[in-house]
Structure 1
Amino acid sequence: MTALTALTALCPPPPTVPPAPDWSRIEAALGMNLPQDYKQLVTTYGPGQFCDFISLYQPHAPSEWADLTGPMPARLRTQIEEVRQTARHPWALPHPPEDLFAMGVTGNGDYLFWVTQPAGTPDE
């Protein structure tokens, strides 16, 4: 049983979802490949939230705050580094900010990121 099969058994997808994005176009615009499980999740469920708590960014979302292809991922990378550098005691990050790509947010305001390095291995 795949993770998506298990998820759809627990949380059935909506009866209708918008057509799947043109993933090759999205990936070309972003300049990177996206994880296969993310693409399957978006294709299966479409936009929305899980448990009114986890929101995944979607390609070409109507709001720039939830648009995977919009300015939000780059803004967050910049903000992370600015906050970290202006802190009294800058903390170490497990990955450089330029290797992080924002892909969602929780209801608590915690951002979800993909680590984009090594390049070309989005499913790892």
Structure 2
Amino acid sequence: MNAALARLTDVVPPPSEPRNTDWDAAERRLGVVLPTDYKELIRTYGGSNWDDYLYLLDPGCPNDNYDLVEWEDQQTEALEGLWEFEKRPAELADAGSRVIPWATTDNGECLYWLVRAGRNPDEWTVMVNEARGDRWEHFPMNCTEFLAAVLQGDLRSALLSSRFPLTGHEFRRLVAV
């Protein structure tokens, strides 16, 4: 277990049953290898809701609304259309750079990995995009480090809800609807 995940499990005890995911199928569909920390995060918590606000996307999530592969398809298409009219974030200026969603919120903010050409997936960092707007934030850490830091109050995003995180954390694994 990586250090950030260990911190996270101290803050929010995980479900007793690990989530089994067909990573080969998911990565084939996405066309990328996913970060190791994310795979550990999903194995530990699965697709889930944190503090009644943030949704952790999961390939093959029992709740189809939060399937990572489906979100990646939708967001890629939406952003391509958006960037015909709005400026891309500076972090995406290099050829081959892109974003892949890994979480979303009740308000519509989206949390992405910043994928840069030639970078190992374990080096991907976090980008947050405001709901229905063109503001972005970049955090030079992996998704598990980001989630742990936000939940512990060590990190604050100007784009995420001021009511997140809650003082007493709430967690629920997503199930089929």
TM-score tier by shorter-chain length is 0.7 to 0.9
What does residue 113 of structure 2 align with? 114
How many Å apart are 1:107 and its aligned residue?
Answer: 2.0
**How many percent of aligned residue pairs carry the same amino acid?**
30
Q: Distance in 2 between matches of 1:77 and 1:31?
A: 13
How has the CA–CA distance of structure 1 residues 80 and 25 changed in structure 2, closer, same or farther, with 3 Å as cutoff? closer
Give the structure, 1 or 2, with the largest relative contact order (CA under 8 Å, sep 6 or more): 2
Code of the residue aligned with 1:114 in structure 2: it is W
Q: What TM-score do you get using the length of structure 1 for normalisation?
A: 0.80
Q: Distance in 2 between matches of 1:24 and 1:120?
A: 20
Structure 1, unaligned stretches of length 5 or more? none
Structure 2, unaligned stretches of length 5 or more? 124-177
Alpha carbon RMSD of aligned pairs, Å?
2.3
What does residue 21 of structure 2 align with? 21
Q: Distance in 1 between matches of 2:66 and 2:56?
A: 7
**Match of 2:122, SS?**
coil
Code of the residue aligned with 1:3 in structure 2: it is A
Code of the residue aligned with 2:6 in structure 1: it is T
| Aligned 1:1-124 pairs, distance under 5 A | 2-18=3-19, 20-70=20-70, 72-86=71-85, 90-94=86-90, 95=92, 99-119=98-118, 121-124=120-123
Tell me if the contact between 1:99 and 1:116 (Cα under 8 Å) persists in the aligned partners. yes
Q: Distance in 1 between matches of 2:119 and 2:112?
A: 16
What does residue 131 of structure 2 align with? none
**Match of 1:100, SS?**
strand
Q: Distance in 2 between matches of 1:98 and 1:79?
A: 16
Q: What TM-score do you get using the length of structure 2 for normalisation?
A: 0.58
Q: Distance in 1 between matches of 2:120 and 2:112?
A: 15
Tell me if the contact between 2:53 and 2:105 (Cα under 8 Å) persists in the aligned partners. yes
Aligned length: 119
Code of the residue aligned with 1:58 in structure 2: it is D
Cα deviation, 1:61-115, whole Å, max 9, x if unaligned, reads 2444311122x212212222323323xxx32423169711122102221011112
**Match of 1:85, SS?**
coil
